[in-house]
């Protein structure tokens, strides 16, 4: 089995800064909030974020961008070191810096400064594009793509090219496999009637695909999903979001475009790449978006983590803050059956939210032996998240969920009737914060093991 194929990201890098704080009062000289700063952080943004996300899982990623001699350019170089290979073209001016001031996790104001003009690419850029299995153009309106336009036109004739456009940027080159505007960008690039219905966005997508001579336009519509429109075809395809992700959406478009391009590099059809990208973008938002500190730990990521169907820990905190009862349960949930459904419905009625702590694939294999799990963690989480009784899903790698419970701190921990409270190893950790472990009745004769045996026996019958 071959590893992930290399790709090239071309585009405008920014330096993203977040100044975090709390606001409890207005300024005496203007109706503006006063933010008491509690911390700040910075990381590569724009094409730099897209390249870093594409490189997760050990993929070889080359980032072609314009950098200068200014402090912001140096900060971007440090942030990307060890993650991607940088191919720089000269920047006449300073790197753009985008600063958000957040109070209580919500943006209060954004300050943009800096900017310059990209120079000419060298021979190394031409060689990198020639060897790419796919190309992503992350256009942030600073015209790096314009400086490379002849090379990108040539690349689009040979390899899948995805163009993430900007209303102030350069038009996509002809032959792009996919162009990925968000809803606001699609409306700015082709206002049309001004409506925001799916039909209106399908019309915009079709017109933009014709204008750009693109093989397809995928309009990202936030919680509604992604609408794929191909020129000359009547019915667009809507790729829905697998679950509603509560979190910071900053950078979600970069995650979507990077995952789409990576899928095309590995030979997926556009429809398959888009489905994977929608799920990855939802998980990215749920994990905290571009501000998630885990994205920027020293050294490259070892692989894309399986993320929860909602932010389980944030949900637990919200419920507690309003005096509600947090209920949690856990297990493998390999083949969800009537016994599981009954247990989850009963558990949800105990409190104000139900969070499922799900054994990871490695944890299931350790507990259940060879051949298990029958379904991977992402599929098991998706089935659970679709149940009306389940509010969030999170994962644990160990044999028991004690570590994740110590973070989650539920008021009630629920298990099925084949356990006793005294036998539960997690009961002791529950007591440290006043939580209670309980056992609920369980439907007899229902288990994943029995279902697997029945399926095997049925398959052997003539």
- Give helix 252-265 / helix 47-54 axis angle, nearest 10°: 50
- Give helix 123-130 / helix 149-156 axis angle, nearest 10°: 20
Segments in 81-195 forming alpha helices (H) = 123-130, 144-147, 149-156, 183-189
What token pair was written down for 95?
């790197």
In angstroms, rounded to a whole number, what is the distance separating the alpha carbons of residues 372 and 83? 34
- Cβ neighbors of 184 (< 8 A, separation 6 or more) are none
In angstroms, rounded to a whole number, what is the distance separating the alpha carbons of residues 443 and 343? 8
Q: So what's the pLDDT on residue 320?
A: 87
Instruction: Confirm whether 254 is a catalytic residue.
Output: yes
Q: Are strands 217-220 and 226-229 parallel, antiparallel or unpaired?
A: antiparallel
Place of tokens 């391009």: 261
Q: So what's the pLDDT on residue 308?
A: 43
Q: So what's the pLDDT on residue 363?
A: 86
Q: What are phi and psi of 21, to 5 degrees?
A: -170, -165
Q: So what's the pLDDT on residue 299?
A: 44
In angstroms, rounded to a whole number, what is the distance separating the alpha carbons of residues 205 and 198? 10
Residue 354 and residue 344 in contact, taking contact as beta carbons nearer than 8 Å: yes
User: Quick check: pTM over 0.75?
Assistant: no
Helices and strands per DSSP (H, E), number in the chain = 16, 17
Question: For residue 26, with 0-12 CB atoms within 10 Å meaning exposed, 13-18 middle and 19 or more buried, which class applies?
Answer: exposed
Q: Which of 18, 164, 248, 254 is catalytic?
A: 254
Task: Return the closest-CA partner of residue 223 out of 204, 198, 202.
Answer: 198
Task: Return the closest-CA partner of residue 347 out of 320, 328, 330, 322.
Answer: 328
Kind and range of the H or E element at 107?
A: strand 106-118
Write out the chain's pLDDT in tens, 462 residues. 345 778 999 999 999 998 988 888 899 988 889 999 988 889 899 999 999 999 987 889 999 999 999 999 999 999 999 899 999 999 999 999 999 998 877 888 999 999 999 999 989 999 999 889 999 999 999 999 999 999 999 999 999 999 999 999 999 999 999 999 999 999 999 987 778 888 889 999 999 999 999 999 999 998 888 999 988 766 889 888 876 666 678 889 999 999 999 999 999 999 999 999 998 888 888 777 777 767 776 544 433 344 444 578 888 888 888 888 999 999 888 888 888 888 898 889 889 999 999 988 888 888 877 767 888 888 888 889 888 899 899 988 888 889 899 989 999 998 876 555 556 778 888 889 988 888 887 554 445 555 455 554 555 555
Q: So what's the pLDDT on residue 418?
A: 57
Q: So what's the pLDDT on residue 421?
A: 54
Q: So what's the pLDDT on residue 1?
A: 36
């Amino acid at each position: 089995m071959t590893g992930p194929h290399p790709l090239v990201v071309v585009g405008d890098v920014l330096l993203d800064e977040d100044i975090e704080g709390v606001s409890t009062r207005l300024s005496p000289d203007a109706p503006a909030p006063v933010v008491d700063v509690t911390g700040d952080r910075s990381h590569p943004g724009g094409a730099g974020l897209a390249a870093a996300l594409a490189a997760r899982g050990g993929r070889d990623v080359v980032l072609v961008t314009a950098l200068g001699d200014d402090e912001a350019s140096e900060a971007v170089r440090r942030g990307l070191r060890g993650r991607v290979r940088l191919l720089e073209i000269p920047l006449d001016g300073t790197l753009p810096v985008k600063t958000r001031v957040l109070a209580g996790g919500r943006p209060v104001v954004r300050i943009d400064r800096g900017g310059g003009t990209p120079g000419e690419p060298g021979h190394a850029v031409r060689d990198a594009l020639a060897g790419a299995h796919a190309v992503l153009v992350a256009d942030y309106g600073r015209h790096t793509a314009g400086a490379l336009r002849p090379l990108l036109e040539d690349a689009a004739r040979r390899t899948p090219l995805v163009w993430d456009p900007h209303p102030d940027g350069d038009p996509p080159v002809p032959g792009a496999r996919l162009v990925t505007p968000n809803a606001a960008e699609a409306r700015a690039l082709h206002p049309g009637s001004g409506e925001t219905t799916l039909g209106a966005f399908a019309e915009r997508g079709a017109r933009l695909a014709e204008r750009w001579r693109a093989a397809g336009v995928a309009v990202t519509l936030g919680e509604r999903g992604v609408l794929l429109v191909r020129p000359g075809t009547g019915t667009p395809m809507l790729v829905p979001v697998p679950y509603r992700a509560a979190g910071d959406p900053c950078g979600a478009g970069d995650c979507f475009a990077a995952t789409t391009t990576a899928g095309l590099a590995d030979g997926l059809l556009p429809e398959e790449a888009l489905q994977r990208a929608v799920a990855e973008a939802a998980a990215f938002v749920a994990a905290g978006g571009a501000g998630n500190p885990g994205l920027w730990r020293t050294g490259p990521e070892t692989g894309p983590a399986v993320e929860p169907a909602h932010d389980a820990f944030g949900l637990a905190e919200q419920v507690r803050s309003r005096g509600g009862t947090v209920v949690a349960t856990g297990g493998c949930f390999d083949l969800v059956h009537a016994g599981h459904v009954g247990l989850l419905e009963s558990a949800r009625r105990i409190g104000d939210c139900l969070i499922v702590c799900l054994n990871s694939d490695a944890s299931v294999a350790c507990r259940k032996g060879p051949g298990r799990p029958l379904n991977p963690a992402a599929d098991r989480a998706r089935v659970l998240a679709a149940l009306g009784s389940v509010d969030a899903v999170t994962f644990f790698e160990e044999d028991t969920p004690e570590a994740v419970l110590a973070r989650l701190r539920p008021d009630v921990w629920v298990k099925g009737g084949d356990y006793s409270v005294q036998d539960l190893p997690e009961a002791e950790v529950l007591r440290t914060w006043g939580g209670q472990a309980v056992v609920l009745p369980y439907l007899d004769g229902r288990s994943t093991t029995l279902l697997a045996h029945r399926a095997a026996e049925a398959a052997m019958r003539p």
